Structure 1
Amino acid sequence: MEIKLTTPLTREKVMHLKPGDNVLLSGTIYAARDAAHKKLMERLDKGEALPFDIEGAVIYYVGPTPTREGEVIGSAGPTTSLRMDAYTPRLLDLGLMGMIGKGKRNVEVKRKMVEHGAIYFAAIGGAGALIKKTILAQETIAYEELGPEAIRRLEVKDFPVTVIIDSKGNDLYELGREQYLAWKKEEEEK
């Protein structure tokens, strides 16, 4: 069963999601990778406002390929989330509610997610050409000089993601491994 969610996210919207749930996101999400995250931290260090409202926001860790004529955006597959882990706790403290990427997250990010009731989704790596079809509009809103790593506002409809870490800290990568090892043990005992 697919669950439909519209941004901005709230604790109430995500509290019932579990690892492995398939979600179709619609609304506004923000594209930002590591170079943009570094600039966001510099901005916060200077006491400046962020270039978008972080409260309830979802950040997609993506640097899309160049846009071809007649298309909204180029291929838009996820990048490795671990690159943003140094910056993510601070953004969670400011109201970030969702992240989309691929791969594991560190212990501090998970702790902050639980503290704030946030959620981590994965998008399918290698499926950027398919994912871009769910992006209806895009606009560069900050750091245009970063090229594909500029911050973009994306308007999405039924953007497909899977819950990896829920708002309670349950992690699909860990749960899946545990289930596999239990199954393997049962098989060996047969």
Structure 2
Amino acid sequence: MVGDVVEFSGTLVTARDKAHQKLIQIYRNGEKPPFDLRDGAVIHCGPIAVRRDSGWEVVSAGPTTSYRMEEYTFDLVRDTGLRLIIGKGGMGRKTAEACRRYKAVYCVFTGGASLVAAQSVKSVENVFWLQELGMPEAVWVFKVEGFGPLVVTIDSEGNNLTEEVVEKAKRRV
């Protein structure tokens, strides 16, 4: 339900603008990406990670502005079976319709709290397209624990907290 505050634990996949574009093209070509998003979770995030002897250490994992992904989100949710999208700021009607139709939710993580977000990343399971897209645009697969707090901003019924706030503000002006 919109307004609920939740945390997420499990597999969390990063995807920014270029990753969204690449994923949409892959699905349009009838192909599948090298990772599975079915029933999964994506965060609009360009992490900063450092390679250590033991693997990758994520030092920053804050969300980026999600509305930039609005034009891709409906297709991505439809094509992948994605269930959770985490980002920053509001998203629009296409995303709300995707959430309603395919029973997904969009949650907001506080902007400017990238160090807090990084502390929830327990491991990097994989990274895809690092050479091609660069570190912030690559697709990172994290294991996270207690990632949040997250505010449900679009629920699986298509209710959109951001649009509700805008409408209330318009009525008051």
TM range (shorter): 0.7 to 0.9
**CA–CA separation in structure 2 for the residues paired with 1:135 and 1:85:** 26
Residue aligning to 2:17? 34
Query: Aligned to 1:77, what secondary structure does the other structure show?
Result: coil
**CA–CA separation in structure 1 for the residues paired with 2:116 and 2:136:** 18
Structure 2 portions without partners, runs of 5+: none
Letter in 1 for 2:68: R
Bigger proportion of residues as strand: 2
Q: Given the alignment of the two structures, is residue 72 of structure 1 paired with residue 61 of structure 2, yes or no?
A: no
Residue aligning to 2:115? 129
Residue aligning to 2:76? 91
**CA–CA separation in structure 2 for the residues paired with 1:140 and 1:32:** 13
Q: Given the alignment of the two structures, is residue 173 of structure 1 paired with residue 162 of structure 2, yes or no?
A: yes
CA contact (8 A) 1:35 1:149 kept: yes
The C-alpha deviation readout for 1:26-54, integer Å capped at 9, x for no partner, is 01010111111111122222221122212
CA contact (8 A) 1:24 1:159 kept: yes
After superposing the two structures, state which structure 1 stretch, 54-63 or 65-74, moved more. 65-74
Letter in 1 for 2:19: A
Residue aligning to 1:12? none
Q: Given the alignment of the two structures, is residue 107 of structure 1 paired with residue 93 of structure 2, yes or no?
A: yes
Q: TM-score, with normalisation over the residues of structure 2?
A: 0.87
Larger Rg, first or second structure (1 or 2): 1
User: CA 1:49–1:68 in 2, change beyond 3 Å: closer, same or farther?
Assistant: closer
Work out which of the residue numbers 28, 50, 65 in structure 2 matches 1:45: 28
Residue aligning to 1:148? 136
**CA–CA separation in structure 2 for the residues paired with 1:174 and 1:23:** 20
Q: TM-score, with normalisation over the residues of structure 1?
A: 0.79
User: Identical aligned pairs, as a percentage?
Assistant: 36
Q: Which ranges of 4 or more aligned residues in structure 1 deviate by more than 4 Å?
A: 68-71, 177-182
CA contact (8 A) 1:68 1:74 kept: no
Residue-pair matches, total: 167
Query: Aligned to 2:2, what secondary structure does the other structure show?
Result: coil
Cα distance, 1:66 vs. partner? 3.6
CA contact (8 A) 1:100 1:122 kept: yes
Query: Aligned to 1:73, what secondary structure does the other structure show?
Result: strand
Query: Aligned to 2:58, what secondary structure does the other structure show?
Result: coil
